[in-house]
Chain A
Amino acid sequence: QVQLVESGGGLVKPGGSLRLSCAASGFTFSDYYMSWIRQAPGKGLECVSHISSSGSTINYADSVKGRFTIYRDNAKKSLYLQMNSLRAEDTAVYYCARSQWGSDFDYWGQGTLVTVSS
């Protein structure tokens, strides 16, 4: 069965860095786009970044451009999000999700909480 398991969340001070990981299993990881989608406390969903199956195409939301870097290791079936210069408004649960380009997110991880606070 398809599984996506995020890790790496935690408490970090403003200006700090954190790296999130998403371990995939149960499907051919290299066939799918992968995305990081976040949800601030009590708020809606925001796709912060997504990456094509080969890693050649990457997109970022304007809110994180220049601060976050998405990458993947298809051999390890893993997705990553390097988050630098973190701000209080980056506080959220971060989900990884799989999709095909232009399509739906059919599987989501359970999420990992990132809290940015002094």
Chain B
Amino acid sequence: QSVLTQPPSVSGAPGQRVTISCTGSSSNIGAGYDVHWYQQLPGTAPKLLMFGNSNRPSGVPDRFSGSKSGTSASLAITGLQAEDEADYYCQSYDGSLSGYVVFGGGTKLTVL
């Protein structure tokens, strides 16, 4: 059971918009810790997709956007493309846990 809750799967047709939610609590996202997002293509290491809730690293298309409100965060992908099919993870910090770093359970995005 992950500290941050994500839907196991989402899907959409090419060109459509999808969102992936990440729900936490008052000890992590709600405590003010930033949320970061990672994309993991099959058989590869995770890659940073979004940092500081809504900032894209260089090279990440502006089709990807992030937001945070209260104890939740969201990743939105517009103009869905086949190459977006991957696993997506949110990550934050939790002051109540000894390890501090927390991840969501991951969301499998399928492009129909």
Binding site for B on A (CB under 8 A): 35, 37, 44-50, 59-62, 65, 95, 102-111
Contacts and interface: CB of A to CB of B under 8 A. Distances in A.
Given A103-B51, A109-B45, A60 B98 contact: yes
Contact of B46 (A46, A60, A108): A108
B89 A45 contact: yes
A109 B45 CA distance: 7
Contacts, number: 67
A45 B106 contact: yes
Secondary structure at the A interface, as helix, strand, loop or mixed, is strand
6 contacts: A62-B97, A104-B48, A104-B51, A104-B52, A105-B91, A111-B45
* A-B interface, 4 closest residue pairs, ranked by CB to CB distance from nearest: A47-B101, A104-B36, A104-B51, A61-B99
Contacts of B97: 62
A106 to B, nearest CB: 5
Contacts of B98: 59-62, 65
B3 to A, nearest CB: 10
